[in-house]
Structure formats: structure tokens, C-alpha cells
Amino acid sequence: MPEQYLRFKPPLALRSGHLQSLLGSSGLRRRVMLKRSVDLQAATEVWTLDGGDGIRLQGLYSKQPGGSKGLTVLLHGWEGNVSSNYMLGTGARLYAAGFDVFRLNFRDHGDTHHLNPGLFHSCRLDEVIHALRDLQDRLAAIHWGLAGYSLGGNFSLRVGLRAGEAGLDIGRIVAVCPVIKPVHAMDAMERGFRFYERYFERKWTRSLNAKKAAFPELYGHETWHQIKRLRERTHYLALRHGYSSADEYFDGYSVGDGRLEPLMVPSTLLTAADDPIVPVTDFYGLPDNPVLELLISGYGGHCGFLKNWGFDSAAEDLILQRFEESIDDQSLRRELAIQTGV
């Protein structure tokens, strides 16, 4: 598909993909995001959604005190959660602009390990779709916006592929640095700066240990912490979930190889040429689908896109812009329907 280039040129010192990636999730940025999200968090309620088959997913709902422009839903990346820096920053930006905001935790993310006995894995799409339908029904939401970062961007696109059959009235999707071919992301972490693999190893170990503590009768005997490398641990757990290998599991949630061709929800994909985790080359083979918009920035790292040392984000700008455009498009369609009597 034809790509466009995002006009994003940070200061010289911020033109490193590694620095963008690290600062994006840093404690420095966190202090700023906590201050910026005071209003968002003050309006927050904890909601538990029905994921089907007795599964429960939890999220945080921030409703406007008066009129709202509409509902927006945010999905985090692997081993992130509703309070990750990019979730707070994006949520605060959308809330300040007049949108209701729902930040969803995937299974076993945040402090939700106790809610479901089964382990999280990235092919658990049905429960996310079921939870989003529950949310839509409870709020009577129409033409709502869905945005995700990294694995959350991947989930957003897969939700979009099934939106019609699931009855989800999604008006716009924005996927920031979405994982396209998971095996290539694993390859990139193994070949690149070892920090990223160790970062996810530590976070995943903490998550698995939290699961073990929540369900000692199921996982008390597990020794997964002894498997240090991500690929080997993924293979071990993929076998437990019924896959023949890590590669088969990775393929189970890939959106590469033409899989986005049937997508009917207008969707914007934002990525960076210097992303150290999701290779930009994965985006070059996306299908020529008229609802897909691909924006490539020369800078931004993995889910960074920091414009300055105040940690303002070009990704947040884009998400807000596309959601507001979606509202304008919807208003125009209503006006045309009234004028034509359709």
C-alpha cells in the first residue's frame, strides 16, 4: 500500500530511536504524565466487563461531567497496562478534548491476574471483542474510536477485522507501532540492543509470578522463571496453549501477509523507521486497502514520538486528530442523509 510520511522532526538530541523508546516509558516522563492526567484520573471509575464464558476484563472509565464528543477506547501494549505513560498521556489528551475515555486492561495486565484462572496470550481475541461489545452496549456507544499501542495496536486491527460480525460500531482505529508480524518483532529484539529483551523478560516474569501467587493450585509447580530467553519461554507456553511451536503461535496473531485486506473500519497505522522492536519493513507489504492509512516517521522509536523535552507526543496529536475527523465525517453523513432523505 502507498505510505505517507509524518511531518515529525524532534530536536536533534531526540532523533534516536533508542532514546525515544526509553524516554517514552521512563520515570521522567511518568512524573509529567501523572500531572497531566489529574482530571482524567479524578473522573475514573473501575469497570469489569464481560469477556464471555465467565471471563472478566477490567478497565478504567472516565466520563465527561457534561456533554461528550463520544467514546474512545485505548489498548495498551504487552506487559503494559491502563496506567502506562502512553495510556495516561493519550487518555488525558482525549479527555481534555471532550471525549469519554475507557482504558482496557488485557487479561493478566495491571493488577488483574486474580480475575481469570487461565494465562494471557496474544491470540485471546474473542474475550477482548466480547468485552468491547459489553462496553458498547452498556454505554449505548455509536461510532466510537479505538486506539492501541504496540500489541494493543495489533489487537485494535484484529478487532476491526471482526467488527462487523461482532456488531461493534467502531468509527475509526488508530494503531501506533502495531506489531505486524510477531516473529519479526522477536527477531528484532534478539538481534538488537539486548536491553529490550531483558526488559520484557523481567516484566513477564513478574506477571507470571503474580499469576502463580493468585492461583497457586494451578501454577505453584511452574518453573517458567528458569527459562530466561523470550523465544524459548514463548515456545514452552505456546505448547501449553495447544500450539505446535512458538512460530505457529506468532502466526496466530499476525496481521501481515494480506490479512488486513478485508478490513472495513477506517484505520490509521503510525510507525517509525527507527523503531527497534517492530521493523518498518513489515509495513511495506500491507495490502492496498482504501480504508488503510499508513504514516511513517523517520523518528519516534517504539511508541515514543516525543516532540520535545516536555514529553509532548506526536502520536497523541494524531490520535486526537483522527478521532475528531471521524466525528466530522459522521456529522457530514447525517447532514447528507437529511438533505437526500436517505
This prediction's pTM: 0.95
Pick the CATH number of 3-190+256-340 from 3.30.30.60, 3.40.50.1820, 3.40.50.150, 1.20.140.10: 3.40.50.1820
Number of residues in the chain: 342
- Alpha-carbon gap, residue 222 to 291, rounded angstroms: 45
- Alpha-carbon gap, residue 22 to 17, rounded angstroms: 9
Q: What is the pLDDT of residue 335?
A: 52
**Look-up of cell digits 500500500:** 1
pLDDT single digits (tens) 155-173: 999 999 999 999 999 999 9
- Alpha-carbon gap, residue 83 to 87, rounded angstroms: 6
Residue 336 pLDDT > 80: no
8 A C-beta contact, residue 29 and residue 85: yes
Q: What is the pLDDT of residue 334?
A: 54
Q: Provide the mean pLDDT of the chain.
A: 94
pLDDT single digits (tens) 58-77: 999 999 998 899 999 999 99
Q: What is the pLDDT of residue 228?
A: 82
Tell me the average pLDDT across 28-54. 97
Q: What is the pLDDT of residue 192?
A: 84
pLDDT single digits (tens) 88-132: 999 999 999 999 999 999 999 999 999 999 999 999 999 999 999
pLDDT single digits (tens) 177-222: 999 999 999 999 999 888 899 999 999 999 999 999 999 999 999 8
